[in-house]
A = this chain, B = another copy of it.
Amino acid sequence: MPHAAATPQLLRRVNAQSVLGVIRNTDVATGTELMARTGLTRASVIAVCEDLIRRGWIRELNVRDEDQHGSPRKGRPARRFELNSRAGFVLGLDLGAATTTAAVADLRGTVVGRSSERFRAAGIPAAERIDVVDRACRRALADAGARPEDVLAVGAGLAAPVDRDGRVLVTQQFWSLFDVGLRTALQELHGWTVLLENDANLAALGERWRGSGAGVDDLVVLLAGERLGAGVLESGRLLHGRHGAAGEMGYLDLVEGVGSSDGIASLARQWSAAGGGPAAGGEASARRVFEDAAAGEPAALAILDRLSDRMARVIASVASFINPEQVVIGGAVAESAGVLLPGITALLPRFTATPPRVTVSPLGDAIVTVGAVRHALNYVEANALELELELRH
Chain A residues near B (Cβ < 8 Å): 1-8, 10-11, 14-15, 17-22, 24-25, 37-40, 161, 164, 217-218, 230, 234-235, 237, 239-251, 253-258, 313, 316-318, 320-325, 351-354, 356
Contact = CB atoms under 8 A, between A and B. Distances in A.
B15 A11 contact: no
Oligomer copy total: 2
A144 B320 CA distance: 41
Nearest to A313: B254
B8 A21 contact: no
Contacts of A230: 321
A25 B1 contact: yes
Contacts of A1: 21, 25
B254 A5 contact: no
A254 B256 contact: yes
Given A241-B218, A256-B255, A235 B164 contact: yes
Nearest to A257: B254
Nearest to A353: B250
B321 A247 contact: yes
A40 B242 CA distance: 33
18 contacts: A2-B18, A2-B21, A3-B17, A6-B14, A7-B11, A161-B323, A230-B321, A234-B240, A237-B237, A240-B323, A241-B323, A242-B325, A245-B354, A246-B323, A253-B351, A254-B256, A255-B256, A256-B256
Contacts of A37: 2
Contacts of A248: 320-321, 323, 353-354
Contacts of A351: 251, 253-254
4 nearest interchain CB pairs?
A2-B21, A241-B323, A251-B320, A245-B323
Nearest to A321: B251
B321 A249 contact: yes
A12 to B, nearest CB: 9
A6 B5 CA distance: 14
A53 to B, nearest CB: 18
A40 B37 CA distance: 31
A239 B318 CA distance: 13
A278 B319 CA distance: 40
Contacts of A352: 250-251
Contacts of A17: 2-3
- In the complex, which of the residues A248, A258, A322, A353 has the most CB atoms of chain B within 10 Å of its own CB atom? A322
Q: Which of A15, A242, A353 has the most CB of B within 10 A?
A: A242
Contact of A22 (B2, B6, B254, B258): B2
A180 B258 CA distance: 41
A13 to B, nearest CB: 9
Contacts of A25: 1-2
A249 to B, nearest CB: 7
A387 B198 CA distance: 43
Given A1-B21, A25-B1, A321-B251, A218 B242 contact: yes
